[in-house]
Amino acid sequence: MDKTKSILLGVFILMACNISVAQNQWTAEFRPGLNFPADEIAGSDVKTGFGFEITMAYNFLESLGAYAGWGWNDFRANDALGEINVNFEETGYSFGLQFIHATGISSLSYLLRAGAIYNHLEAKDNSGNRINNTGHNFGWQLDGGVSIDLPAGFNLRPSIRYRSLPGEFEIGTTSTNADLNYISFGVGLAKTF
């Protein structure tokens, strides 16, 4: 846990560098998305999910910056872990680097992100009671898309993301694979300040 806190503190310090002289280098973004699982979770077919992420980013160079955020994603399965209609909820943190560079078209830039996630996966029954939990684990994500300039410092950011999170559910004395791998299509709304 101390290693995680150190990494998060390092990302925060990196983002806070030169804050006194920074103008138009901070960005806040809200990104809802649809999530398409790449495989089963705990041996169960999982349906298309949805979720959102809120991030803050700081550009320490013109096109390069660091981001950190928190997100929630929900997936449904008809039959998992001995229950009917199970919800798998992924929540946790993301951080990494982003590269946003102009394409030559005045209002359009391309966007690339690569980073780590520190999330956990919970299985919940119909009543919202937790059946199982993987605990927090490190994973990774890659993201690519475009950033479209809008008036008043806003940007529209459609993107595609691949996310991978390893995990296991403990059931009695046995472990069940609960790796979560999915593709997410989302559209972020960002404000630069």
Q: What is the pTM of this model?
A: 0.82
Q: Give me the pLDDT at residue 100, please.
A: 95
Give the domain extent around 39: 2-192
CATH number at residue 95: 2.40.160.20
Q: Count Cβ atoms within 10 A of the Cβ of residue 61 and give its class: 0-12 exposed, 13-18 middle, 19 or more buried.
A: exposed
> What does the pLDDT profile of the chain (193 residues) look like in tens digits?
566 666 666 656 655 554 444 467 899 999 999 999 998 887 788 899 999 999 999 999 989 999 999 999 999 887 665 666 788 999 999 999 999 999 888 889 999 999 999 999 998 888 888 988 999 999 999 999 999 999 999 999 999 999 999 998 887 777 888 899 999 999 999 999 9
Q: Give me the pLDDT at residue 2, please.
A: 63
Q: Give me the pLDDT at residue 106, please.
A: 81
Q: Give me the pLDDT at residue 175, please.
A: 84
Q: For the chain, how many structural domains are there in total?
A: 1
Q: Where are the beta strands (DSSP E) in the chain?
A: 26-37, 49-59, 64-80, 83-102, 108-124, 130-133, 137-149, 154-165, 168-171, 174-177, 180-192
Contact between 109 and 99 under an 8 Å Cβ cutoff? The reply is no
Q: Give me the pLDDT at residue 78, please.
A: 74
**Residues 99, 89: Cα–Cα separation, whole Å:** 29
Model pLDDT for residues 153-168, shown as the tens digit of each residue: 999 999 999 999 999 8
Q: Give me the pLDDT at residue 20, please.
A: 42
Q: Give me the pLDDT at residue 12, please.
A: 62
* Beta-carbon-side half-sphere exposure of residue 175 (alpha carbons within 13 Å): 7
**Residues 32, 54: Cα–Cα separation, whole Å:** 9
Q: What are the distances in angstroms from CA 144 to CA 97, 111, 184?
A: 12, 6, 11
Query: 142 CB contacts (<8 Å, ≥6 apart)?
Result: 113, 114, 161, 162
